[in-house]
Chain A
């Protein structure tokens, strides 16, 4: 079975500081991994996805994530936080071989201080 665990339900950083949001996965098959962002009162928007191509994946808004099989991790990073990055971030894994089924982590709320 596939699952993801997000470490830290809340992360706070200062504007300009490094953002690191952690996600570990469990999968018996090569995983398809995703990061989604949810801004207040909005739906989820895809930030980036890993589909077994390059292990370093670049997404929108300056975010990137590195797939590390040895550590079963897919952490999300951004070199310099901006106030507009404040949102909730969700890591997700595709469920088995069924396209369109995703298993989501519990989410990490990112706060950016001026």
Chain B
């Protein structure tokens, strides 16, 4: 089944403790993105990647890192999480030449 898989689905952590949210897609898509969703703000793009080893900042990149060492994986790294990073995070992928994005199920992160 074609899908974008995020792990974990739920995570509660403490301020300053490094964490990684994984994202994997099995559709051989070139483009991958991370978004955060906050009430009343919709989805805002954090980072995106156009292919392996090619990443760029989105609208709200502060406090986040990404890497794209393999085409299928696009992990989101929070080196020192803070409470303002409490949010619902979505990973998405798109094939080259397409305008459609496929979304994962989301990761609800709480930083206390």
Instruction: List residues of A whose CB falls within 8 A of some B CB.
Output: 6, 9, 32, 34, 36, 41-46, 49, 51, 90, 94, 98-107
Lowest 3 CB-CB distances: which A-B pairs, in order?
A100-B31, A43-B103, A100-B94
Given A43-B90, A51-B99; A101-B48 close (CB under 8 Å)? yes
* Bound complex: CA A79 to CA B4 (Å): 32
On whether the beta carbons of A43 and B105 are closer than 8 Å, the reply is yes
List, in ascending order, chain B residues with CB within 8 A of A101's CB.
Answer: 33, 45, 48, 58
> CB < 8 Å: which of B4, B33, B40, B103 contacts A100?
B33
On whether the beta carbons of B103 and A44 are closer than 8 Å, the reply is yes
Expressed in whole angstroms, the Cα–Cα distance for A77 and B31 within the complex equals: 30
Does B106 have its Cβ within 8 Å of any Cβ on chain A?
yes
Alpha-carbon distance A94/B31, docked complex (angstroms): 13
Shortest distance from the beta carbon of A8 to any chain B beta carbon, whole Å: 12
Contact partner of B32 (CB less than 8 A), chosen from A45, A100, A104, is A100
When chains A and B are docked, how far (Å) is the Cα of A108 from the Cα of B41? Answer: 11
Size band of the interface chain B makes with A: 20 to 34
Is the CB–CB distance between B97 and A44 below 8 Å?
no
Q: A43-B90, A90-B42, A106-B42 are in contact. List 13 more A-B contacts (CB 8 A).
A: A32-B99, A34-B100, A43-B106, A44-B103, A99-B96, A100-B30, A101-B48, A102-B43, A103-B45, A104-B42, A105-B42, A106-B40, A107-B40
| Pair A94/B99 contact, Cβ less than 8 Å | yes
Asked if residues B40 and A9 are in contact (CB atoms below 8 Å), the reply is yes
Within 8 A of A (CB), among B95-112: 96-101, 103-106
Query: With A43-B105, A44-B90 in contact, do A49 and B48 touch (Cβ < 8 Å)?
Result: no
On whether A104 and B97 interact (CB within 8 A), knowing A42-B105, A43-B106, A44-B90, the answer reads no
Q: Closest approach, in angstroms, between the C-beta of B44 and any C-beta of chain A? A: 7
